[in-house]
Structure 1
């Protein structure tokens, strides 16, 4: 079953990197749980599922969509209680994208080049051309302006335009991921930086450093590190996948 097989074929560097990211998430949860009982189980579910999701995405593994669905539900719940309504709507869309992405990827896989085990599959990667870039940037601007206007005028969102920036970039990044473009990782890098700012600023606005805020900041920092590695790895995927496909 791919949910088990997907954990095979990791290099020593990847094991150390991904283990460190997971340990950091668990340590933050335990700290708030032990010190003041603030931590909510939903925080650790969102953090761990999110980290595993992006790790599997960076490796081009199908199980990323299962963990992505869990993360969309849990992170959406946390965002709702923190009045980040753009993030809530985004998680609904992400939930739908998990099924679309699974369908799109499952027909475009090749045997992992590290294990050479036919049961261990990774996705075929491709790159944007100049026209693709033009449409991608245009779509990002349109979504950002539209979402920002809506959040600012029709909701009580605390950070409408910062929220909208994260939403716009995330929707485009998720679309590029579904379509298997390696440039998705460049968008995720920016998204992660924006999201770190979003949650950090929220704690400043609320004048409170809480478990949810710290957990989410740590999660997005982990995502940022993973995104840099993801871009590197997906470029390598283009070199090792069968030439006959493209």
Structure 2
């Protein structure tokens, strides 16, 4: 089963990074659970599934979409409780993208070069050209304007301008991921920094730290580190994949 086989072929660095992210999420949960009982199981489910999702995505493994479904459901609910409605809407779209992405990826895979098991597969990556970059920038600006307008005029969102940045960039980044472009990771780097600011500022506005806020900031910091690594790894994938399959 690919959910198990996808854990093969990890380097020592990847194993250490993966274990560290998981340990930090568990530690945050235990701390708040013992401190005041404010820790919620949904926080750790969102954090752990998110870490699994982004690490498998960086490795180009199909199981990223399975963990992605769990993450969007749990993170979407947490965002709803904190009135980050742009994030909520985004998770609904991301849920659909998990199935679309699986369809596109499964047709464009090659055997992992780090393991002798031919059943361990990585996705074929590709790059945006100048025209692609121009189109991507224009679409991003249009989506941002629409999202901010909706958040300001139709909701009581706490941080519509920041929320809109994370939402619009995430939609474009997810589309690039689905279509296997390595430049998606540049978008995720910015998205992760904005999301860290969004949740940290939210705690400041609410007058103090809380289990959900710390857990989400920790998750997005892990995502940020993984995004930098993901861009490096996907560039390397272009040099090891057997051929391009569009």
Q: Normalized against structure 1, the TM-score is what?
A: 0.99
What is the aligned-residue RMSD (CA, Å)? Answer: 0.8
Task: Tell me the residue number matched to 1:242.
Answer: 242
Q: Contact 2:200–2:213 (CA<8 Å) still a contact in 1?
A: yes
CA deviation string 1:121-164 (max 9, x = no partner): 00000000000000111111111111001101110000011001
What is the rounded CA distance, in whole Å, between the counterparts of 1:210 and 1:216 in structure 2?
10
> Does residue 1:56 correspond to 2:45, yes or no?
no
Mapping of residues 58-207 of structure 1, within 5 Å: 58-207=58-207
What is the rounded CA distance, in whole Å, between the counterparts of 1:59 and 1:204 in structure 2?
35
User: Alignment partner of 1:122: what SS?
Assistant: strand
Shift of 1:199: 0.2
In structure 1, runs of 5+ residues without a counterpart are none
CA deviation string 1:5-56 (max 9, x = no partner): 0000001111011111111111101110111101000000000000000000
Shift of 1:244: 5.8
Q: Normalized against structure 2, the TM-score is what?
A: 0.99
Shift of 1:190: 0.1
Mapping of residues 220-231 of structure 1, within 5 Å: 220-231=220-231
User: Alignment partner of 2:116: what SS?
Assistant: coil
Task: Tell me the residue number matched to 1:12.
Answer: 12
Q: Contact 2:124–2:244 (CA<8 Å) still a contact in 1?
A: no
What is the rounded CA distance, in whole Å, between the counterparts of 1:4 and 1:202 in structure 2?
37
Shift of 1:245: 4.1
Bigger shift: residues 18-27 or 43-52? 18-27
In structure 2, runs of 5+ residues without a counterpart are none
Shift of 1:59: 0.2
Total equivalences in the alignment = 246
What is the rounded CA distance, in whole Å, between the counterparts of 1:152 and 1:210 in structure 2?
26
Mapping of residues 3-42 of structure 1, within 5 Å: 3-42=3-42
CA deviation string 1:220-243 (max 9, x = no partner): 000000000000000000000013
